[in-house]
């Protein structure tokens, strides 16, 4: 348990300051109460005498009014005033004391008793219509009242004389009392200020050093030295904990710097790998665009040569024009987007060239709605599907085979379809083709076939486009490409 805690230090110093100030205040209070008591003694007895004199005057006035007019109001006033006079008379000294003022009070009390008896007898005689009696008793009360007033003057004089003597004695020492009070208050104030300053300095000095260390840590100076206080209180505990935290932060910061450097190197390596991957994908797409079946080119050129020998140059010119336009289309940059109308035109040229090779062996149908022709699409999607249909689906048919190419706008999507009446595929083959089309390692397989078309649709549309494959063994295959109409092309 910590012995010298900050709380105990604050309480102890505060109690010392409070005791010093309380002592000075208590002494000053005693001196002030003594002065007040002397002043009270000066005026208390004089006030009593003044009240008795006023009560005698009022009683005498109301009695005279009643005896003259016999008014009920005057009688009521007399009773009230005489009652008050009797109450004040009871406060006078009635014992025999060795004090002149007290003996005079005893005589005054007897006179007032006699005065009240005469006034009451005068009132009773007035009620009994005994004029002689109430006149005599009234005169006696008047004389008694004059004697009472005389004694009151004497008593007041004695009170004033005694009070002045007492006050004179107190006045001689009041200067010393005030001086001692002033010195004590000043000393208590200075001592309190000294204790407060000393304790505040001892309390705030380590806190200031701790605050400076905290500001240094905030600036990133984790090596800032923090001298630990020698006290074992809360401040010393806080400083030790802060020093430990400072060391932990410095070590953590060094570890973060090291990890950040490693992560930076890993990120740079990852960026290089991603860049290489993007370049490889572009190269793959470019290679896919240029992988035109060499057998097709050879056979087509052979047909063109035979045609040039047997016919006039017009058909040969058409052949060469379609072949050149087709080759020019497929060899353009692979990252481009084209209109659906461009894809339709490309596949029509390709069909024209196929008919040179196969004649009427296969039947081709091309149908595209006008509203879908202006939709954007990745380049070279339909021609590879038509080539697959002819090379794989219809290769064993000598005649009667057909391929249908359609482009429709369905539910906000452009749907491009290539359907054939070929050999078809099993459900396992369909699943494998769709699955392989979404994996990078299968892109090199199968030339520019169906797998590559699936992958290119997903890449070019950021996943918003997709390919459906419907096929039955012996009944043909239907490949449908779904493309977003707006905002989905990458």
Give 337-378 as a DSSP string: EEEHHHHHHHHHHHHHHHHHHHTTSEEEEEEE-GGGTTSEEE
Give pLDDT tens digits along the chain (490 positions): 444 566 676 777 677 777 777 776 776 667 666 665 655 665 666 788 888 889 999 888 988 888 888 788 888 988 899 899 899 888 888 888 788 878 888 888 888 999 889 898 888 888 888 888 888 888 898 899 899 889 888 888 887 777 677 666 666 666 666 777 777 778 778 877 887 777 777 767 777 777 777 777 677 666 666 666 666 666 667 767 766 776 777 777 777 778 888 888 888 888 776 765 565 465 455 545 545 554 565 566 556 666 666 666 666 767 777 777 777 777 766 557 899 999 999 999 999 988 888 888 899 999 999 999 999 998 889 999 999 999 888 888 878 789 999 999 999 899 999 999 988 899 898 888 888 777 654 444 444 578 888 888 888 888 888 999 999 998 899 999 999 986 545 5
Residue 58, both tokens: 């009022």
Q: Same domain for 329 and 471? A: yes
Cα–Cα distance for residue pair 393/429, rounded to 1 Å: 13
For the chain, give the number of residues. Answer: 490
Q: Is 147 inside any structural domain?
A: yes
pLDDT score recorded for residue 375: 93
Helices and strands counted in the chain (H then E): 11, 7
Q: Same domain for 201 and 301? A: no
Q: Is 259 inside any structural domain?
A: no
Q: CA-CA distances (angstroms) from residue 268 to 14, 110, 274?
A: 65, 123, 10
Domain termination residue (choose one: 208, 225, 257): 208
Cα torsion through 355, 358, 361, 363, rounded to 10: -30
Instruction: Give the DSSP H or E segment for 481.
Output: strand 476-484
Residue 343, both tokens: 């894809």
Q: Same domain for 199 and 300? A: no
Cα–Cα distance for residue pair 92/82, rounded to 1 Å: 16
Q: Are strands 476-484 and 413-420 parallel, antiparallel or unpaired?
A: antiparallel
Residue 79, both tokens: 């009773």
Q: Same domain for 20 and 161? A: yes
Cα–Cα distance for residue pair 295/352, rounded to 1 Å: 17
Q: Is 317 inside any structural domain?
A: yes
Q: Same domain for 309 and 451? A: yes
Q: Is 267 inside any structural domain?
A: no
Cα–Cα distance for residue pair 152/384, rounded to 1 Å: 143
Q: Which residues contact 333 (CB under 8 A, 6 or more apart)?
A: 286
Q: Is 271 inside any structural domain?
A: no
Q: Is 173 inside any structural domain?
A: yes
pLDDT score recorded for residue 313: 61
Give 19-86 as a DSSP string: HHHHHHHHHHHHHHHHHHHHHHHHHHHHHHHHHHHHHHHHHHHHHHHHHHH--HHHHHHHHHHHHHHH
Could you tell me the CATH number of the domain that includes residue 32? 1.20.120.1730
Question: How many CA atoms, within 13 angstroms, populate the side-chain half-sphere of residue 418?
Answer: 24
Strand partners, 406: 367, 417
Side by side, the strands of the sheet bearing 466-472 are 362-368, 401-410, 413-420, 476-484, 466-472
Cα–Cα distance for residue pair 301/466, rounded to 1 Å: 35
Domain termination residue (choose one: 208, 232, 256): 208
Alpha-carbon torsion (21, 26, 32, 35), positive or negative: negative
For residue 364, which phi and psi values (nearest 5 degrees)?
Answer: -120, 135
For residue 416, which phi and psi values (nearest 5 degrees)?
Answer: -105, 130
Q: Same domain for 178 and 326? A: no
Q: Is 43 inside any structural domain?
A: yes
Domain termination residue (choose one: 208, 237, 256): 208
Could you tell me the CATH number of the domain that includes residue 458? 3.30.565.10
Q: Is 230 inside any structural domain?
A: no
pLDDT score recorded for residue 235: 67
Cα–Cα distance for residue pair 432/311, rounded to 1 Å: 47
Q: CA-CA distances (angstroms) from residue 196 to 20, 188, 468?
A: 13, 12, 89
Residue pair 388/450 in contact (Cβ under 8 Å)? The answer is yes
Q: How many domains does the chain have?
A: 2
Q: Measure CA 188 to chain center.
A: 47
Cα–Cα distance for residue pair 281/422, rounded to 1 Å: 32
Which 8-state DSSP code applies to residue 416?
A: E
Cα–Cα distance for residue pair 58/64, rounded to 1 Å: 10
Cα–Cα distance for residue pair 100/89, rounded to 1 Å: 18
Cα torsion through 338, 339, 341, 345, rounded to 10: 0
Alpha-carbon torsion (410, 414, 418, 424), positive or negative: negative
pLDDT score recorded for residue 2: 41
Return the biggest CA–CA distance within the chain: 188
Residue pair 339/373 in contact (Cβ under 8 Å)? The answer is yes
* Boundaries of domain holding 431: 291-484
For residue 487, which phi and psi values (nearest 5 degrees)?
Answer: 75, 0
């Amino acid at each position: 348990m910590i012995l010298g805690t900050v709380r105990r230090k604050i309480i102890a110093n505060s109690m010392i300051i409070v005791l010093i100030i309380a002592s000075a205040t208590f002494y000053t209070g005693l001196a002030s109460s003594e002065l007040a008591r002397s002043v009270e003694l000066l005026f208390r007895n004089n006030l009593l005498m003044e009240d008795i004199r006023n009560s005698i005057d009022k009683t005498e006035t109301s009695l005279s009014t009643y005896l003259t007019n016999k008014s009920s109001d005057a009688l009521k006033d007399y009773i009230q005033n005489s009652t008050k006079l009797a109450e004040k008379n009871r406060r006078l000294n009635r014992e025999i004391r060795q004090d002149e003022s007290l003996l005079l009070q005893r005589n005054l009390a007897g006179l007032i008793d006699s005065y009240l008896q005469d006034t009451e007898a005068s009132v009773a005689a007035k009620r009994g219509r005994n004029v002689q009696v109430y006149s005599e008793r009234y005169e006696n009360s008047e004389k008694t009242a004059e004697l009472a007033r005389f004694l009151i003057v004497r008593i007041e004089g004695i009170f004033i004389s005694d009070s002045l003597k007492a006050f004179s004695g107190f006045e001689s020492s009041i200067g010393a009392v005030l001086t001692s009070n002033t010195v004590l208050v000043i000393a208590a104030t200075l001592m309190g200020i000294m204790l407060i300053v000393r304790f505040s300095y001892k309390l705030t000095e380590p806190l200031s050093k701790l605050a400076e260390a905290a500001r240094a840590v905030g600036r990133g100076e984790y090596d800032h030295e923090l001298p630990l206080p020698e006290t074992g209180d809360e401040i010393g505990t806080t400083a030790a904990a802060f020093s430990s935290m400072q060391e932990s932060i410095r070590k953590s910061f060094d570890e973060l710097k090291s990890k950040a450097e490693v992560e930076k190197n890993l990120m740079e390596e990852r960026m290089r790998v991603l860049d290489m991957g993007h370049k490889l994908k572009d190269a793959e797409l470019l290679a896919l665009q240029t992988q035109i079946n060499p057998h097709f080119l050879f056979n087509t050129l052979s047909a063109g040569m035979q045609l040039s020998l047997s016919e006039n140059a017009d058909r040969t010119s058409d052949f060469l024009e379609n072949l050149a336009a087709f080759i020019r289309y497929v060899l353009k940059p692979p990252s481009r987007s084209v209109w659906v109308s461009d894809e339709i035109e490309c596949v029509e040229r390709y069909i024209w060239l196929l008919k040179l090779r196969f004649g009427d062996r296969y039947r081709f149908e091309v149908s595209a709605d006008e509203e879908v022709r202006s939709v954007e699409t990745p380049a070279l999607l339909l021609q590879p599907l038509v080539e697959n249909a002819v090379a794989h689906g219809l290769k064993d048919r000598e005649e009667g085979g057909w391929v249908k190419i359609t482009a429709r706008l369905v539910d906000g999507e452009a749907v491009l379809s290539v359907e054939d009446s070929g050999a078809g595929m099993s459900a396992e083959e369909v699943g494998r083709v769709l699955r392989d089309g979404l994996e990078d390692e299968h892109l090199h397989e199968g030339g520019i076939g169906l797998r590559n078309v699936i992958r290119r649709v997903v890449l070019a549309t950021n996943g918003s486009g997709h390919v459906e494959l419907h096929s039955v063994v012996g009944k043909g295959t239907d490949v449908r490409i779904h493309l977003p109409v707006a905002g989905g092309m990458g």
